[in-house]
């Protein structure tokens, strides 16, 4: 067995949560991050997703099946801490990927470092995105188009301050439902192993669908992945993910300990 250890890149570094949590979910308890006011879009979206109730739960677990370009890309069980940057992915083929808050590792006879590095942070971050909007290093600006494929949304462009992790050039365009404030779509680029110009030639989008309440907290149980254009919206569908058996649990410290 070969043991591969590596640091998370910028996206997962953003998973680190603040050291203090408000006593209850209330607009009066929303914290100020980096001494900057959280903008209205971020405040409403995090409130709609019940961020602080979510962070108080300990851990969340779910089964995850990902199909991309008509091929099953992943079938796994996720265990993510809701208030710390720790997570575990146990694939049905026996391979496990773990992040202990500082380092990440996998154990396998033959493995692509880049591929598993992508897997271990990307899908977890997509799940946690509604709860990470006010993390340190996040910055927001208006996005010129508030409609997507004929539907009008509240929109913001998310970028990252220089020096935030090792991929500060990644960006997201966020679309929230105007009535519920739930996050519906996030367009994005990934600059890992590519330049910004190269990444911007093929931006993608994740669409959060089929929200269900889990202990009163809305969770998207289906994701679909699309090509995306700033002036053309969602184009061709690329894949989808199904989330099932979603539940909150008490974390076990040994689950995130290096074997």
Residue ranges per domain, the chain? Answer: 2-17+36-245
CATH hierarchy code of domain 2-17+36-245: 2.50.20
The angle subtended at Cα 96 by Cα 134 and Cα 103, nearest 5°, is 50
In this predicted structure, what is the pLDDT of residue 20? 38
For the four alpha carbons of 85, 240, 44 and 229, in that order, the dihedral sign comes to: positive
State the pLDDT at residue 8.
36
* Residues 6 or more apart in contact with residue 226 via CB below 8 angstroms: 204, 205, 206, 207, 234, 235, 236, 237, 238
Question: Is 175 within 8 Å of 155 (Cβ atoms)?
Answer: yes
What angle (nearest 5°) sits at the alpha carbon of residue 52, between those of residues 46 and 57?
130
pLDDT at 33: 41
pLDDT on residue 29: 42
CA nearest to 174, candidates 48, 52, 34? 48
Supply the pLDDT for residue 256: 74
What's the predicted TM-score (pTM) here? 0.82
The per-residue pLDDT string of the chain (259 residues; one tens digit each, 9 = 90 and over) reads 433 333 333 334 344 333 333 333 433 444 434 434 568 999 999 999 999 999 999 999 999 999 998 899 999 999 999 988 888 999 998 888 887 766 777 766 555 555 677 787 889 999 999 999 999 999 999 999 999 999 999 999 999 888 765 567 789 999 999 999 999 999 999 877 778 899 899 999 999 999 999 999 999 999 999 999 998 899 999 999 999 999 999 988 777 777 7
pLDDT at residue number 142: 94
């Amino acid at each position: 067995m070969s043991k591969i250890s590596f640091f998370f890149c910028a996206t997962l570094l953003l998973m680190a949560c603040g050291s203090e949590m408000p006593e209850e979910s209330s607009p009066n308890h929303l914290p100020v991050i980096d001494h900057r006011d959280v903008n209205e879009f971020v405040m409403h979206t995090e409130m709609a997703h019940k961020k602080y109730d979510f962070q108080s739960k300990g851990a969340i677990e779910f089964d995850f099946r990902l199909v991309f370009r008509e091929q099953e890309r992943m079938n796994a069980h996720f265990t993510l801490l809701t208030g710390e940057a720790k997570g575990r992915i146990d694939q049905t083929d026996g391979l496990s990927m773990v992040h202990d808050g500082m380092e990440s590792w996998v154990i396998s006879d033959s493995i692509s470092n880049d591929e598993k590095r992508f897997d271990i942070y990307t899908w977890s971050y997509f799940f946690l995105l509604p709860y990470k909007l006010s993390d340190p290093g996040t910055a927001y600006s208006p996005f010129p188009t508030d409609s997507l494929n004929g539907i009008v949304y509240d929109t913001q462009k998310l970028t990252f301050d220089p020096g935030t992790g090792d991929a500060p050039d990644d960006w997201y365009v966020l679309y929230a439902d105007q009535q519920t404030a739930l996050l519906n779509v996030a367009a994005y680029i990934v600059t890992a192993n590519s330049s910004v110009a190269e990444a911007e030639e093929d931006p993608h989008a994740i669409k959060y669908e089929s929200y269900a309440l889990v202990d009163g907290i809305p969770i998207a149980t289906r994701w679909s992945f699309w090509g995306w254009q700033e002036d053309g919206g969602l184009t061709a569908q690329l894949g989808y993910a199904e989330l099932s058996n979603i539940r909150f649990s008490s974390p076990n410290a040994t689950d995130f300990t290096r074997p």
